Each structure stands twice: as C-alpha cells, then as structure tokens.
Amino acid sequence: MELVKESCIGRLALLIYALCRESAVGALLHRFCNWCEHKWHESALICFLTREGTLPRSWPSSVSCRLLGGILNLPANLLHRWYLVWQKTFDGSFFANLAFDMGDSTAIAASWLMALLLIIPYERWNNAYSLLGFFLCLCLLILGGMRRKSLRVDVQSLGPYLVLFGAAVLLSLPLSHYRSLSARFLLYHLACMLCVLVTVSAVRNVRDLLRLAGGAGIAVTISSAYAFVQRIQGVEVNESYVDMTLNAGMPGRVYSFFDNPNAFAELLLFFLPVLLALVLCARHWYSKLAAFAAFCLGTGAILMTYSRASWIGLAFSIVVFVFLWNPRLIPVLALLALACVPFLPDTILNRISTITNLNDSSTSSRFPLYGAAFRLLKESPIRGAGLGTSAVQQFIQDNSLYRGTAPFVHAHDIYLQVWAEMGLLGVTGFVSGMLWSYKSAAAAVKHASPAARLLTLGGASAIAGAMVCAIADYLWNYPRVMCAFWFLVAITVSGIKVCRKEQQVA
C-alpha cells in the first residue's frame, strides 16, 4: 500500500482527497456518501446479493453433491486405503514421498500451467495441451490425496449452479444437431472443467490463493511486456478490426501472443482487478512492486488494444472493486479518472467517442449477428443448435437465418451464444453460476483476512466486468481465453472457500 501512496498517481489521489475533504463541497460529498452507503446496505439489491439462496444452502448436504463427490473421489479413497496397508513402505520410499509432496503442491502446478498457457505464442499452441495439463494436475491431486485424506476433489465449494452448467455442457453433445462438429468443443470445455475442479480443490489457505494470483501476474507481465515491444516495432493496421473512417490515424492494435487484440484485451480484463488486489494485500515491498508493475504494464497494454468493450468492462470492474472494498473512495476514483483524461492520447479519446456511434462498422455489423441468433433461438429455444460455434454456424446456414454480408462467426454476445449452443439449461446454469459467484463473494468476505478478502473481491469484480464486456463480445471464441476465464472463476470460488474457512475458525 505504501508503494501506491508514494507513486505520482497515489500522491495526486491523496491531494485530491485532502482538498475535497477540507472544503465545503467535500463535506457535502462526505455526507452524501454516508447516506448512499447507509441506503445501499439496507436496499433490496444488497440483501439479494448477500442472501444465500435455498438451493446453494442445501447443496452441501444434498444427495447429488455427496454422490458426485463420492464418484470423483473414488480413486483417491482407494489409493488412500492402499497407502494405509503399506504405510511403512510408502513412507520409507523417496519417490513415493516426492510424489506425495508434488500432490500437495497442486495449486502451484495449476498456477504455473496457466502462466505457460497464456504466454506461449498462438501459432505454437495446441489446445490439447490445456486438457492434458489439467488432467496431469488432477493426477497430482489424486496422488496427494493418497497420503492426505483432507486433499480431495471439492465438489461442495463449486456450488449447484456451476455443476448444473457442467451438466448442460455434457448433455449438449448428445443433444446437438451436429454431433461431429460439437465433439472437439467438448474437449475445450472439459479442459475448463478440470481447471476449475483441480484449482478449487487444491487451494487450502491464503498462501495457495496468493500463488494463483501470482500465476496470473506472471502471465499479464510477460504478455503485456511483449505488447509494448509490438508497439515499439509497429503493428500493421488491420481494417477488419476497426472502422478507419471514424478512427483515422489510429495505430495498429497490439495482440501480444494472441491472434486477436480483443482476445488479448479480455485476458487483461480478467486478471487486472486480481493484480490490483494483489498490490493492496501483498506483505513484502518487493511483492507490491512486482504486482504494481504488472498492473501498470497491463493497463498500458489494454489501452493499446483499443478494445472498447474490454475498456468498459475494466472500468466497471474497478468501480465494483472499489465499492466493495471501500465505498468512500468512489468520489476520489471519479475525480482521479477525470484528472487522467487530459493525459490520454487523442487516438484513445477518439476511440472512446465511437462507443455509442452506430455508424461505426464494427458496431453496426453486430446487429445482423444478433438477429441471426434470435432467429435460431426462435427455432430451437430449449435445445439450441449444439455445442460449439461450428454447430451454430451450420444451423444458421442450413436454415438461412443470417441476413448480413460478412461471414457469421458467432453471436458477439456470450449470453446469446451460450443459449444458442447449449439451450435453456446451459444459459440458466451459466448466468446463475456467475450470479452465485458474485453473491457468495460479497457475503463471504465480511469476516475474512485482508488478503483473502481482497483477492476474492478482485476475482468477483473481474467477473462482473467480464459479464459487462460479454454483452458486446463472445469471450470464449478462443479456447485459451475461455480457459483463462474459468481460471478467474476458479480463483474467485477458491477465495470464497478460504473466506468461509476463516469465518468458521473465527
């Protein structure tokens, strides 16, 4: 925190805060903030956000939760019985103890795997690596559970809605209109399921949670640094990404290790709020410095992507984070944002001005996509077309549902796309799972330690920003970005798990 206070931005914020606090306007704002905070905590919305529903409350003791947990933990339980029979032999073996220790460090393996997944260049990455990597992490978790009975697959912490979404993914393959086209997309989703399952199960305390955030920080640092290298070397302007009539003079959009600048911006949107939390909760000055440097690099890189939806999502997530952390700082945040506007380059200001301009080709081209998605939902609202963008494309082509000129790739809206792929069950599970994650985070952080509280709020606010960005972008068009999204969900659910444990101990 001292690092932030001593920086130029921190000093400017403190100066603005001091001037406002000592003035009559500041006193009026202070009273207004107190009134808003009081009304907010008594509002029906905050009661809805912090109240645990009937289904999540009954999930841990339900038959479904216990049955699913029993099936998934069957290998670890059988290996644990084998360990008890041959305990002296295993304890005396160097290789057995090495395997057990590696299993205890599954959270570290998951964080490093995610870092590697996000910094390997696009053309050298095979999406099968994600599935293989998280399957190996699951094997490590089972090995650790062979000796330690407390290390098990944690279905209880996932909640009912994420499990419901996973069931919808599995059902969408046999229900698909084009099973052959949907098969490979099931593998992408299985990698994401393993990512969430292994990560949440491996996290046991705040230290593991910090390691996950550190893995995200490594990915953001390296990919953002390479984005600055791209800007220095120069990026060719791709007219398919931007309307040059309304954005004359705008340089090429950086994309780092990814094929698309929007995909890179979405990755930064997922993890920048987590890095901000890491800046505030890191214990050592060098950890704060590293997290702050990564946050600054990522902020600069996301500006150079010129991705408007991600900018809006990041702004929303920062506001949500500050509000949940310390709502009294909202006026300071607003004044600081206004103070930074004159320092933004003209190309960024011009790009911001086109957000609501319907004459922008990249904006207007979305409406035929939305129309085709709505026509698909009218044809098959319950079942959908089938898992994956290929099945949706084929269904729209076979039924002549698209009226646009550019090729239909996806619906450019994650809610429409998930509904079009997985039907009503899929979109219900997805939206409910995201709302449950946010509600559970808001309720769980009340009596948690600072690190667990901040990291959980960072993850929850990033999910909130991603859900806003997802109105205008399909976040899962690239399997690696989809895996990064679910890693963010895993960080948030792990934070909720740690906060609840600390609350039980207290």
The answer to whether 304 touches 231, Cβ cutoff 8 Å, is yes
CB atoms within 10 A of CB 206: 21
Least confident piece of the model among 110-114, 162-166, 392-396: 110-114
Tell me the pLDDT band of 358, cut-offs 50, 70 and 90: low
> How many Å apart are CA 380 and CA 376, to the nearest integer?
6
> How many Å apart are CA 167 and CA 189, to the nearest integer?
11
Tell me the pLDDT band of 1, cut-offs 50, 70 and 90: very low
pTM, entire model: 0.87
pLDDT mean over 257-284: 88
CB atoms within 10 A of CB 473: 24
Residue 50 confidence (pLDDT)? 60
What is the residue-averaged pLDDT of the chain?
83
The answer to whether 312 touches 320, Cβ cutoff 8 Å, is no
**Digit-coded pLDDT (tens) for 224-267:** 999 999 888 887 776 666 666 666 666 778 888 888 888 889 99
Burial 221-255 (b: 16+ CB within 10 A, else e): bbbbbbbeebbeeebeeeeebbbeebbeebebbbb
> How many Å apart are CA 462 and CA 263, to the nearest integer?
15
**Burial (CB count within 10 angstroms: exposed 0-12, middle 13-18, buried 19+), residue 31:** exposed
Taking CA atoms, 338 is separated from 16, 233, 300, 343, 447, in Å, by: 11, 31, 17, 10, 34
CA nearest neighbour of 3 among 217, 280, 214: 280
- Amino acid letter, residue 424: L
**Digit-coded pLDDT (tens) for 2-55:** 444 455 555 555 555 565 556 666 666 666 666 665 655 555 555 655 666 678
H or E element, residue 452 = helix 450-469
CA nearest neighbour of 462 among 346, 324, 369: 324
**Digit-coded pLDDT (tens) for 134-167:** 999 999 898 888 888 888 888 988 889 999 999 9
Mention every residue, 6+ apart, whose C-beta is less than 8 A from residue 426: 165, 168, 169, 172, 384, 418, 419
> How many Å apart are CA 203 and CA 498, to the nearest integer?
8
Residue 394 confidence (pLDDT)? 92
Q: Is 306 left (phi over 0), alpha (psi -120 to 50) or beta?
A: left
Q: Is 238 left (phi over 0), alpha (psi -120 to 50) or beta?
A: beta
Task: Report, in angstroms and rounded to the nearest whole number, the Rg of the chain calculated over CA atoms.
Answer: 24
pLDDT mean over 441-455: 84
Q: Is 303 left (phi over 0), alpha (psi -120 to 50) or beta?
A: alpha
